[in-house]
Homo-oligomer: A and B are copies of this chain.
Amino acid sequence: MTPTTNARPTIIDVAARAGVSKSLVSLVMRGERTVSDEKRALVLAAAAELGYRPNAVARSLVRRRTNLFGVILSDLHNPFFAEVIDGVQEAAGAEGYRTIISTVNLSPAAEQRALDTLLELRVDGLILASPMFGVQSIAAASRELPMVLVARRSDVPRVDSVTNDDPTGARLVMEHLANLGHRRIAHIDGGRGAGAAERREGYERSMAERGLAEFVHVVPGSYTEEGGRHGVEALLAAGGPRPTAIFVANDLAALGALAVLAERGIRVPQDVSIVGYDNTSLAALRHINLTTVDQPRPDMGREAVALLLERLAGRREAARHVLVTPTLVVRGTTAPPNEG
């Protein structure tokens, strides 16, 4: 009745109250079925009266595992990660693991600190959804615990990865545009962003395969709104006939592209079609309604957890690299070219 006492009840208090040993309390708390109904009820009652709550810290110490997975995100603001986390938490929770998320705002120093902290916390596995880590940091950490990279891969020996199949994604985009009748298709590159090179190569290969090599037009950009704006400006400044369709490296950059086009009075999709990549929640906004490529982000999170669990079960030594398949989401920014 007096919750003001600072010391929380321990397993010993419960044992005393129930008149049993603390091992018995432990068994009951962990749901072991080898306890008689009578004693179990006794223990449960005592625990409830005392407001007992098991101490995960003590348990982790003796069990030498925390049932915690660490997740390091470069950037919480990118809606991409929020959905990966959804999948991670769901899959982890189902196996009795909790998730502890660290965000590092694109700062390498903060990344290293976050990594060290998680290792001191003795998380049982690590998910890195952050493109900046140096290979040596990854290699060092991989010696201490199971690790998986999301949306990036590396060839560090025991480090798994789950990435989306960017070449396929790019091919889906190109197929869609070509089927609509586009030939003069440009690409705004994603710079150093994860998967950007694959998307660009997919674009170039598709153009070649369709006999459109002469129309290949790649301008530099990045995975940011600004990157998309500059890309479109470069395209418009390039002279020659305007492309009838633009494949932009990701959604955020596609938004930048849309902004510039709107400012210039160039209508989408009547005058030019736009396709993004990622299908972030932005793309689905009615006011934006962007045709884009969906990466199954929750699936990617779930896969990452599955890889961790495999390793924890000791079922595997070699690195595994899971490739998830993207799909095209057709919305309102693509249409047949307006042959003027």
Contact = CB atoms under 8 A, between A and B. Distances in A.
Interface string A148-180: 000000000000000000000000000000000
A55 interface: yes
Contact of A83 (B77, B98, B116, B119): B77
A105 B86 contact: yes
Nearest to A7: B64
Contacts of A8: 144
The list of the 8 closest CB pairs from A to B, nearest first, reads: A259-B286, A259-B287, A76-B82, A56-B120, A101-B101, A100-B100, A3-B143, A57-B60
Interface of A: 3, 8, 53-58, 60-61, 66, 76-77, 79, 82-83, 85-86, 89, 98-103, 105, 116-117, 119-122, 143-144, 225, 229, 255-256, 258-260, 262, 281-282, 285-288
24 contacts: A53-B116, A53-B144, A55-B120, A56-B117, A56-B121, A57-B60, A76-B76, A76-B82, A77-B79, A77-B83, A82-B82, A86-B103, A89-B103, A98-B121, A99-B102, A100-B100, A100-B101, A101-B101, A259-B285, A259-B286, A259-B287, A260-B286, A262-B287, A282-B282
